[in-house]
Copies of this chain bind each other. A is one copy, B any other.
């Protein structure tokens, strides 16, 4: 499986992805699922991927035109005039890749080759944008009503995101929140694994503000992971205790 989150803040965008891929529980590997391209001062575009690895790698290769000689390559993500068109290009390539694999494999269902992606970035003079691209090539855009998108194993890490998110939080707090969301997911689903990739894009920065690979030896991640258990315990104890007797007198009963 996979877990990736793209989050929109007033300050910009924060993206995190895991790196574990698996074909059965007895065949796990580490692959990058976060990609970004930038023309400093003009644009930055990032893509997070979940789903069939052959599909997602193929999509990224096609976007970079790796079938051509290096000198002849043109990255269409760096030429699209708006982020909306960037998302359109990603969606079209994704849909066509899945469809061609399915049509070349007789009975195999398109779902075998399915994948979804988060597209995030900003182009000079326009707002930062965040999209969720479906296997069918269509996509939706985040707003502050729904300010983050998750792909892959989304459920374990969702409650803490819902409770902890605040649009005016600092990048540092957002990274902490994402680490807790990933930690909950890592603890519950073996097919999501370290290391994590982190990318912070500041509004109008138009290049990566901060980029890091977080592995098991990362001391901050260790501190947050270990400390959260203790902090939750205290939070739990701070709530009043259930009482059998009071319940019996409760007017709602």
Contacts and interface: CB of A to CB of B under 8 A. Distances in A.
B228 A235 contact: yes
A160 interface: yes
A252 interface: yes
- Looking at chain A's contact residues, the main secondary structure is helix
A240 B223 CA distance: 8
A155 B218 contact: no
A247 interface: yes
A163 interface: yes
Count this chain's copies in the assembly: 2
Q: Chain A contact residues (Cβ within 8 angstroms of B): what range?
A: 35 or more
A250 to B, nearest CB: 6
Contact of A224 (B155, B163, B239, B244): B239
Interface of A: 155-160, 162-164, 170-173, 175-177, 179-180, 184, 187-188, 200, 209-210, 212-213, 215, 217-220, 223-224, 227-229, 231-236, 238-244, 246-247, 250-253
